C-alpha cells in the first residue's frame, strides 16, 4: 500500500509493506484449527491478503461462526485433524473445489491436560500428542498429493514444521 503523507511543506509517498498488498492474491490456503484463536486470525489475514482459505475445526457450530466472521473467500470443512480419514476428506474437498494448495498452516492443537507426573494417563498423553504433533506431520504429509509438489518440497518439510507448525520451503520462499 502506498500512503501519501503531507508534511505541510511537501507531500511524500511512503510504501507500507504488509498492509493491503495482496501478497496471497489467487492463492489457495488450508488452515487447520482455523475456527478460533491463532488459526482464525491467520485465516482472516490470508483472506485480507487475497487468498481463498479452507479452515478446519472439530465443532461444526464453531466452524460456521468462523466462516461467517471471515465472510468471503472461505470454506469450512468439519473434521478432527488427529483422524486420518478426516484429513483425507479435507484434502479431497480442496482438490475437488480448487485443485491445489499453495499455503498450508498446520495450526490445530489442544492445550495439554496439566497433571502431576504420576497421574498422567496414557489417554491424556495420546490425545494431546495425536492432535498437537501427529496433526502436523500428517497434515503436511497428505497435503502435497493435492498439488503434486511433494518431491520438490519433501526435503524441506520436517525441519521447518517442528518449530512453526507451518510449512515453508526455504528454497522457494
In tens digits, the chain (173 residues) has pLDDT values of 545 444 555 554 444 555 556 888 999 999 998 999 999 999 999 999 999 999 999 999 999 999 999 999 999 999 988 888 999 999 999 999 998 888 888 887 777 666 777 888 888 777 777 777 777 777 777 776 665 544 344 444 433 333 344 444 434 44
Residue 15 within a domain = no
Residue 149 within a domain = yes
What's the structural domain count of the chain?
1
Residue 173 within a domain = no
Kind and range of the H or E run holding 75: strand 74-78
Its domain, for residue 82, covers: 21-164
Residue 92 within a domain = yes
Q: Choose among 105, 82, 84: nearest CA to 30.
A: 105
Q: Give residues with Cβ within 8 angstroms of 19, minimum separation 6.
A: 1
Find the angle CA(69)-CA(58)-CA(67) to the nearest 5 degrees: 15
Residue 131 within a domain = yes
CATH of residue 135's domain is 3.40.50.720
Residue 170 within a domain = no
Give the whole-angstrom CA distance, residue 22 versus residue 33: 23
Residue 100 within a domain = yes
Residue 110 within a domain = yes
- Note the pTM of the prediction, 2 decimals: 0.69
Give the whole-angstrom CA distance, residue 47 versus residue 119: 43
Question: What pairs with residue 57 in β-bridges?
Answer: 78
Q: How many Cα neighbours within 13 Å face the side chain of 60? A: 0
pLDDT at position 137, please?
A: 73
Amino acid at each position: 500500500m502506498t500512503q501519501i503523507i503531507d508534511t505541510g511543506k511537501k507531500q511524500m509517498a511512503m510504501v507500507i509493506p504488509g498492509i493491503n498488498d495482496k501478497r496471497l492474491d489467487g492463492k489457495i490456503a488450508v488452515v487447520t484449527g482455523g475456527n478460533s484463536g491463532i488459526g482464525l486470525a491467520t485465516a482472516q489475514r490470508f483472506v485480507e491478503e487475497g487468498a481463498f482459505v479452507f479452515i478446519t475445526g472439530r465443532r461444526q457450530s464453531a466452524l460456521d461462526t468462523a466462516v461467517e466472521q471471515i465472510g468471503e473467500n472461505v470454506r469450512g470443512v468439519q473434521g478432527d485433524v488427529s483422524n486420518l480419514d478426516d484429513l483425507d476428506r479435507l484434502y479431497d474437498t480442496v482438490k475437488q473445489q480448487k485443485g491445489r494448495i499453495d499455503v498450508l498452516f498446520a495450526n490445530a492443537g489442544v492445550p495439554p491436560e496439566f497433571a502431576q507426573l504420576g497421574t498422567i494417563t496414557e489417554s491424556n498423553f495420546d490425545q494431546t500428542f495425536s492432535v498437537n504433533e501427529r496433526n502436523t506431520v500428517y497434515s503436511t504429509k497428505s497435503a502435497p498429493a493435492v498439488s503434486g509438489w511433494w518431491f520438490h518440497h519433501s526435503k524441506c518439510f520436517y525441519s521447518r514444521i517442528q518449530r512453526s507448525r507451518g510449512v515453508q520451503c526455504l528454497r522457494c520462499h
